[in-house]
């Protein structure tokens, strides 16, 4: 299965992609996580990406695509993948389509997790994440049992640099202008399935499972 998770920053698509990846035994490929891994390892690509990410801008398409093609060429993707955060612009989507056709592959579906803007803003600014195991929390909606400490591995939680309120506003704007057109793009291809992301995480997972069953990808 090859799925794309589409949705604004804070829509919860990363959490849902994780759950789907575990359920279907395919990797969750998040471009944001790949960039963050690069800058933790202090690679040149990581340094380049960080400058854009800190400001809430997109990393240029050529840089992003080169990283994605490399990741999708790794052995663990042979049964498919759940893409989270890619494609994020029309050129990325078009280049991705061309790459899929060249490999004689097609997408199984594109899931649009739709969330109201006010909800997104508060989800993002309250988000905290574990730098070690990547677990995510929310100061109000999903706090850890001990403030600022990861329940799963005990590391100190951090706020992502780009989850501060000024940057969040820009990321939401960039989503609106650059990424939202992909909803129509994939709708025209008959691949789009929309779920209501304002619901609880478990309800969203259930909605996704229903939609997957409709396209013949039920798990059990
Ligand atoms: P995310 O973790 O998906 O919210 O991504 C964090 C940041 O990484 C974004 O705000 C962008 O700066 C960058 N990024 C992630 N995916 C892409 C992409 N497909 N194209 C360009 N920039 C991206």
| Distance from the alpha carbon of residue 119 to the mean position of ligand 1, in angstroms | 20
Nearest to 77 by CA among 68, 87, 66, 85: 68
pLDDT of 220 strictly over 50: no
Nearest to 178 by CA among 2, 10, 8: 8
Nearest to 21 by CA among 43, 35, 39, 2: 2
Instruction: Please state the rounded mean pLDDT for residues 195-209.
Output: 94
| Alpha-carbon span 91 to 150, nearest angstrom | 38
What count of Cα atoms within 13 Å lies in the side-chain half-sphere of residue 122?
9
Instruction: Please state the rounded mean pLDDT for residues 147-170.
Output: 93
Q: Could you confirm whether 127 is annotated as catalytic? A: yes
| Distance from the alpha carbon of residue 85 to the mean position of ligand 1, in angstroms | 6
Please, which residues have CB within 8 angstroms of residue 143's CB and are 6 or more apart in sequence? 137
Q: Is the CB–ligand 1 distance for residue 58 below 6 Å? A: yes
Q: Could you confirm whether 160 is annotated as catalytic? A: yes
Q: Where are the extended beta strands (E) located within 85-160?
A: 109-114, 127-129, 136-138
Pairing of strands 81-84, 2-6: parallel
Predicted confidence (pLDDT) per residue in 111-129, tens digit: 999 999 989 988 999 999 9
Predicted confidence (pLDDT) per residue in 180-200, tens digit: 999 999 999 999 999 999 999
């Amino acid at each position: 299965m090859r799925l794309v998770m589409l949705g604004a920053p804070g829509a919860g698509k990363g959490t849902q992609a994780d759950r789907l990846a575990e359920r279907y035994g395919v990797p969750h490929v998040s471009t944001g996580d790949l960039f963050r891994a690069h800058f933790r390892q202090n690679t040149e690509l990581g340094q380049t990406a960080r400058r854009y990410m800190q400001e809430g801008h997109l990393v240029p398409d050529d840089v992003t695509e080169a990283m994605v093609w490399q990741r999708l060429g790794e052995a663990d993707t042979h049964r498919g993948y759940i893409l989270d955060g890619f494609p994020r612009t029309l050129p990325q989507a078009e280049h991705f389509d061309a790459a899929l056709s060249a490999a004689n592959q097609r997408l199984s579906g594109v899931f649009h997790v739709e969330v109201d803007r006010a909800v997104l803003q508060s989800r993002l600014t309250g988000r905290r994440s574990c730098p070690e195991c990547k677990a995510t929390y929310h100061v109000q909606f999903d706090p850890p049992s001990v403030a600022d400490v990861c329940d799963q591995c005990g590391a100190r939680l951090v706020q992502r640099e780009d989850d501060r309120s000024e940057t969040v506003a820009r990321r939401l704007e960039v989503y609106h202008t650059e990424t939202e057109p992909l909803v129509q793009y994939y709708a025209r291809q008959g691949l789009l399935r929309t779920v209501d992301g304002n619901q609880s995480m478990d309800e969203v997972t259930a909605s996704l499972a229903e939609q997957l069953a409709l396209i013949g990808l039920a798990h059990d």
